[in-house]
Amino acid sequence: MPHRPLAGRRIIILEDDYYQAHDSKDTLEEAGAEVVSVTATVPDIAAHLAAGRIDAVLIDINLGRMLSFDFARTLRSHAIPFLFLTGYDAGMLPEDLAGSPYISKPADRSRIVAGIAELVAAAQS
């Protein structure tokens, strides 16, 4: 049986690039996660929480017509861990989000899984 470090974890992916979104979905599902949403627009987090817990969110910074910083702040206010996966430099993060978990694109699958696994583990401790 393959190693599934995200078994039972519920994850949202916010990504405007179709191929990146579905590659991330495949990656997380292979690691055992249940990807509850893959979207290119900011999801209604309250609706997702009403359907069950959210263990982590993988977020692209640039969604084409907008940036995802306000969504990251909403996640923080709900104590939902998130990981930025973006082509932007970490210096682009606003001061209040500086130091947030961050992976540069292109990222290999193992880094994405490890990053989400670390978030989930830290949130449980």
What are the sequence ranges of the domains in the chain? 10-107
Say which amino acid occupies 50: A
* CATH 3.20.20.70 at 10-107, yes or no: no
Mean per-residue pLDDT, 68-97: 94
Residue 28 burial (C-beta neighbours within 10 Å; 0-12, 13-18, 19+): buried
Mean pLDDT of 4-33: 96
pLDDT in the model for residue 85? 95
Amino acid 2: pLDDT: 65
Tell me how far the alpha carbon of residue 82 is from its chain's centroid.
5
The whole-number pLDDT of residue 1 equals 43
Instruction: Give the model's pLDDT for residue 45.
Output: 94
